[in-house]
Structure 1
Amino acid sequence: MSDAKRAALSRDGTPALLQSYWGGYVSVRARGECIELLRDPSAALPCYRAERDGTKLFASDLALLAAAGSETGQVAWDALGRILYCAGLPTSETALAGVTELRAGEVIAVDARSERTITGWSPWDFVEPGGGDCAAGAVLLRRTIEQCVAAWSSPYRRPLVSLSGGLDSSIVAACLAQSRREATCLTLFTDDPAGDERGFAQMVCESVGLPLTECRYDLDAVDLGRALGSHLPRPSGRVEAQPYEAAHREVAVRVNADAFFTGNGGDNVFGYSQSAAALADRALQEGPAAGAFATLRDICRQTGAGPLRVTRAAVRIARQPPGYRWKPNPSFLHPELVASLRGMAFSHPWLAPPPWALPGKAAHIAALVRAQLTLEADRSRMAPLINPLLSQPVVEACLAIPSWQWREGGRDRAIARAAFAGRLPAAIVDRKVKGTPDPFCGEIVQRKCEELRARLLDGQLAQHRILDPGAIEDTLRPGRPTSGEENVRLLELANVEAWLGARPSYPSGGGPAVYSGAAG
């Protein structure tokens, strides 16, 4: 860094840093007796905090807090109940007593007498309600993604890419191939055809010139007593991801991978939606002009809904108060817990809209918020886990694109599709249906039903009146088929129970090395 840049950062602080640099970092800046910490807007590096004997501790890993002498093992049961009810909303509290978290883009200023937390980066600062030319937006987006993938991959020689064959992970694979890394792709498949995307993954790898490894979702790799995210201060993940994580670790050893790359967050960043919010946005922005009718046609083509139904939905959305209404998930939670949390305010700085906010863009920003608790997979303990589509420059470029442009031509994520139309096979760019491992979730619940019932009914969640035993009994009674949503929630709760059984995770004095990287 030049002396001039160092002087500018010292003088201008957080705004200068956010404008000139991006990556996975927590910055620390001294201003007299005050210390300012900023967590980068992409949430690529965690920032947990605790206190010991009046000393404020900040670390990127729970084990480091324990190594500094912080008590990190006691479960905060009230907070755990709120976390399960809040359905993926990032909060400053964790499920461990005395451990909190600095949220992405937040700045905390600490001195000997006080502290305050402010929003250092807001997504609303990059929203352009009117938007610009779609073709120019696609070119800018492609260049931004290519540059971000190249920057992230520059320290590594052999990245391992999680490739589903869908658009988002295919974009990352294409950019890695262009950056000339010795990358290997890995795709997982289920026995059910709905979760078998090997044909699409093969098509991508043949097109971009990368080798592909295929692994089966193995039911024998599922252990209901083993926790994903045991190293984290809040439960994270679901049981069905255990074979996914295991396959990545095994292949990484085989190919000597030094980083994991994913397309995680693509739907969130690229404005994926099946609602009528884009029509509401365009009508509110431009009035009932020809553009609104074009967006109506696009939404009908994408969703298959009729124009009257879409119009009515758009009118309802347009009449709602500004902002996004975060929805809780009370499924299988104890009625007393749900009653105590009903009416709870779901607070996050990014969910507070300016007066001119459009509903579709508010939903887009809420999707960015939702992605932030999915970034610390277990394999990140083995090698850095990179989610380049959530990079700050990519997010800022996508925020400037109006919601209706993401639906242009009746295609979801339309600008991203246009951006890589010449870099990926047409069959990938034009895909409308994506595979899912959901059938594997159903298989786990069906095959391990008795063990699942016993763990949930006899576990700590039920003992602390967080789970509703009656709802568990009814759902898992013999002969009753379970829905996809029920399977997902049950496997989430099973992982929470295993996470509780793993506490305390780290004795004082030990912990893994910390990864931290930044790019400019």
Structure 2
Amino acid sequence: MKPRYLLLVSQGEDLAARAARIATATELRVCHRTPRIAVLANEDCSCLAIDTDHLVVGTLFHRYGPPRAIAAFDDTERSALLGGGAGALLASYWGGYISLSVRGDAVEILRDPSGALPCYRTAAGGIALFASDMELLSAGGAVHAGVGWDALGRMLFSSGLPSRETALVGIGMILAGTTLVIEGHRDETVTSWSPWDFAEPAGEDRAAASERLRHAIDQAVGAWTSRYRHPLLSVSGGLDSSIVAACLARSTGGRSGTAASCITLYTDDPAGDERGYARQVCAPLDLPLAECRYTLDAVDLNRALGAHLPRPAGRVEAQPYEVAHRAIAAQVGADAFFTGNGGDNVFNYSQSAAALADRALHEGPGAGAFATLRDICRQTGAGPLRVTRAAMRVARAASGYRWRASPAFLHPELIASLQGLAFAHPWLEAPPGALPGKAAHIAGLLRAQVTLEPDRSRVAPVVHPLLSQPVVETCLSIPSWQWRSGGRDRAVARDAFADRLPQAILDRKGKGTPDPFCGEIVARKRGELRARLLDGQLAAQGLLDQHAIEETLRPERPTTGEENVRLLELANVEAWLSSWP
């Protein structure tokens, strides 16, 4: 069972009767209540009281303590948290949680930096509501006013940039690492955790960095594993999920009554068949592996992934993936889904020349910069002159990261109206002198945020250990050029687990992709896809370029991989709209 909670904040009404009614209707327990606030949660969601006006809801681990969830604070911990506030919480603990503090007339709600516990918000009848999911918001009295078409257009254009708004009118969310401060009828959002606070190179050699990273990942996987009896891990055959598998096997191996299983999916096209690599990972770790095929029978353009969310999420080709996970979970009795999601993001996967620009800006030209030039040439196959010129362009550009739009298949008028849209997020606000490669690293962390609630999160918790706060902070402190050492991407992570993974995994430079399956869906369902997009709500609201879609989906016209991905994303959005009339 996944952690679920509902938080009510009142400016005047005593919440006792309302909380009791909601508890009866939802089978949640009222775990904390004062005249101004009430917290309801299920058995899997802890409510840790610091004092009457300060508490933490969700899953919390000690930063330096044993890898198991905290059941209660002791007196020393309470004193430290009351004195240090959010800073003390963020420095000494981590997990998937929200914290609540009442300070005079103000109420402060912080969402943890990993975003592991959702926090959706609205207001109803003078009560501010915060919840882990839309079902509980509705139970609290929330009524959304339909789809926000302007907001949905911005989402489609902004290429997955996390936002405080959702696609439903009146429903918002608290961003990871930020605090919402409510005072009277006003509220403001402040940044409580910034990746830039950890982005300064640690000044250690690669061996020390890899050892520190190894310890952080071991601790994170071990802590999350302690919460469950039978995790089911998605294994792709790539480096990231293989690292989680190695740590998961170690964490469950010595615990009585605990087991782990793995699942991998494959396509009929060899480009998407990773079974050989997945077997090499799982066999020596003694992890059972289920192998499931991507099948068109599991694809239904009328069904939406993320139908439970207040914003569309996912693409049509993931339907067989989600179906297989739910089936295998039921078969083996899994109580949580584990993933290697976010590995590319936290391990700073890149094929750009930004690492060379970073090193030259940080150290100046010299032997170090030349070594990084050699590493990038070796990794990408590009010549030294081309890499050097690219690095110079990166170094000359303005500091920070320029978030790119996704205009494909959107209506020209919509694109024109959004051309001046500022792609704003607290994590994109680079300080003076920020290194461009680190800015790109941080932007990658943002891209992972929109993947945290896949469709299977409706039936069991989905755990992304590599996105845990200690892992992210460790990776941010490792300079971009160390991640490219030896001409290998994610080099520090490869070094960290060199003795625990098969050599074939450590040496891999690429991995499989379900892209051929995307092409198969578009080819086989071209007519249905065309009809849904041209005659659907997105087109009726003026969000889609119908001429471009009609031209792309002409019979016998070959489509590109990028076109397939975008079309299947839009098809899922169209299906999602039917879930929220």
Q: TM-score, normalised on structure 2?
A: 0.86
Bigger relative contact order (CA 8 A; separation at least 6): 1
The residue aligned with 2:154 is: 82
2:103 aligns with 31
Report what 2:168 is aligned to.
Answer: 96
Distance 1:118 1:81 in 2: 26
For residues 227-256 of structure 1, give each alpha carbon's deviation from its aligned partner in whole angstroms, at most 9, with x where no partner exists: 000010100000000000000000000000
Shift of 1:33: 2.1
* Code of the aligned partner of 1:245: E
3-state SS of 1:275 partner: coil
2:117 paired residue number? 45
Write the letter of the residue equivalent to 1:160: L
Determine the structure 1 residue equivalent to 2:10: none
Count of aligned positions: 504
Structure 2 counterpart SS, 1:471: helix
Structure 1 residue 65: deviation in Å? 1.1
Structure 1 residue 208, shift from structure 2 partner: 1.4
| Paired position in structure 1 for 2:433 | 356
Q: Could you give the per-residue CA deviations for residues 437-468 of structure 1, whole angstroms, max 9, x where no partner exists? A: 00000000000000000000000000000011
CA distance in 2, matches of 1:441, 1:218: 11
Identity of aligned residues (%): 69
Q: Secondary structure at the match of 1:374?
A: coil
Q: Name the residue aligned to 1:6.
A: 78
2:326 is equivalent to residue 249 of structure 1: yes
SS at match of 1:188: strand
* Residue in structure 2 matched with residue 316 of structure 1 by the alignment: 393
* Most deviating of 124-133 and 449-458: 124-133
Aligned-pair distance for 1:73? Answer: 5.5
Pairwise mapping of residues 252-401 of structure 1 onto structure 2 (< 5 A)?
252-401=329-478
| 1:143 to 2:212 alignment | no
Residue 161 of structure 1, aligned match among 233, 239, 255? 233
| Equivalent position SS for 2:107 | strand
Partner of 1:480: 557
> What runs of 5+ residues in structure 2 fail to find an aligned partner?
1-72, 253-257
Whole-Å Cα distance in 1 between the matches of residues 202 and 178 of structure 2?
A: 28
- Asked whether the 8 Å contact 2:97–2:112 carries over to 1, the reply is yes
- What is the CA distance between 1:112 and its match in structure 2? 1.8
Could you give the per-residue CA deviations for residues 453-496 of structure 1, whole angstroms, max 9, x where no partner exists? 00000000000000110010010001110000000000000000
Kindly indicate whether the alpha-carbon contact (under 8 Å) linking 1:129 and 1:285 is maintained by their aligned counterparts in 2: no
Q: Deviations over 1:155-196 (max 9, x none)?
A: 211100000010000001110100124100000000000000
Higher share in strand = 2
AA partner of residue 343 (structure 1) = G
Question: Could you tell which deviates more after superposition, 220-229 or 127-136?
Answer: 127-136
Residue type matched to 1:187 in 2? T
Offset at 1:350?
A: 0.4
Provide the rounded CA distance (Å) in 2 between the counterparts of 1:373 and 1:488.
Answer: 16
Partner amino acid for 1:141? L
Equivalent residue of 1:228, what SS? coil
Q: What is the aligned partner in structure 2 of residue 54 from structure 1?
A: 126
Q: Secondary structure, in 3 states, of the residue corresponding to 2:368?
A: helix
SS at match of 1:502: coil
Q: Is the 8 A contact 2:134 2:308 kept in 1?
A: yes
The question of whether the paired residues in 2 share the 8 Å contact of 1:298 and 1:411 is answered with yes
1:119 Cα deviation from its structure 2 partner:
0.2
Shift of 1:70: 1.0
Q: Secondary structure at the match of 2:450?
A: helix
Does the 8 A contact of 1:130 with 1:285 survive in 2? no
Deviation at 1:11, TM superposition (A): 2.0
SS state at 1:346 partner: coil
Show the 5 A alignment for 1:397-476. 397-476=474-553
In the alignment, structure 1 segments of 5+ residues that lack a partner are: 505-520
Aligned partner of residue 169 in structure 1, secondary structure = helix
After superposition, the CA RMSD in angstroms is 0.8
SS in 1 for 2:117: coil
Counterpart residue identity of residue 475, structure 1: T
Distance 2:372 2:577 in 1: 48
- CA distance in 2 between partners of 1:356 and 1:151 (Å): 36
What code does the residue aligned with 1:142 have? R
Instruction: Determine the structure 2 residue equivalent to 1:185.
Output: 262
Write the distance in 1 (CA, Å) between the matches of 2:230 and 2:130: 32
Which residue does the alignment assign to 1:510? Answer: none
Deviation at 1:130, TM superposition (A): 5.9
Q: Distance in 1 between matches of 2:144 and 2:559?
A: 37
Pair 1:227-2:304 in alignment: yes
Alpha-carbon separation, structure 2, partners of 1:331 and 1:427: 37
Q: Give the whole-Å Cα distance in 2 for the aligned partners of 1:354 and 1:292.
A: 23
Provide the C-alpha distance between the structure 1 equivalents of 2:104 and 2:245, rounded to a whole number of angstroms. 46
Which contiguous aligned blocks of 4+ residues in structure 1 show a shift greater than 2 angstroms?
Answer: none
Q: Quick check: 1:389–1:395 contact (8 Å CA) kept in 2?
A: yes
- Taking the aligned partners of 2:108 and 2:92, their CA distance within structure 1 comes to 18
Residue-by-residue CA offset, 1:16-72 (whole Å, 9 max, x unaligned): 000111111111111122111000000111111111123211111111111111112
